[in-house]
Chain A
């Protein structure tokens, strides 16, 4: 069965601090996809990144970076030099190779204090 665990329910940081959001997943499939979505206070979910299970390269996009480690079944998300606009709920999600579903974690609420 697929499962995504985001153990950090809420995190608060002061602006310009770095912060890492943890994501641990479980799946029996060898082919799967991992995602991060952002839900700002306005409520809509915004896609941030997709990773497939065969690509363990870390990715950096501006202040955002993602660390995918199959050995620990983790797909962690780091925001460097956080800004107030980063305040949101962040969801990690898993989709296995043939499923018509996206299994979401319970989300981490990030608050960046000015």
Chain B
């Protein structure tokens, strides 16, 4: 029962470097999400994918791109990392379509990213 798997768990980047966070779910969920968690700010949505082939911006999309590679996988890319992107990133998935508003999200374990 893997659920939602994120890699890597930890990453240190220098300003300007690029990297991709990988996320895969094995629950046959339709919707997938990327959140970032910062101290004192809770979790904020970066991007989501309501279904395979679609992606939409969330609350804080600037500086990020995403790809819904297939139903299982949803990756988050930082093209030119900045110190402001130092955060813990969570991938999540849900069974229901993203338009229902009643989604119960299953979260991955998180990826801690530090940008120097």
Determine the distance from Cα of A56 to Cα of B104 in the docked complex, in whole angstroms: 19
How many residues in A have their beta carbons less than 8 Å from beta carbons of B? 28
**Closest A residue to B41 using CB positions:** A106
Interface residue A62 (Cβ < 8 Å from any Cβ of B): no
Interface residue B74 (Cβ < 8 Å from any Cβ of A): no
Contact status A91-B42, CB under 8 Å: yes
17 contacts between A and B (CB under 8 A): A9-B40, A43-B110, A44-B107, A46-B107, A47-B104, A50-B102, A52-B102, A91-B43, A100-B56, A100-B99, A101-B48, A101-B58, A102-B43, A102-B45, A104-B42, A104-B44, A106-B40
CB within 8 Å of A: which residues of B?
31, 40-45, 48, 50, 56, 58-59, 88, 90, 92, 98-99, 101-110
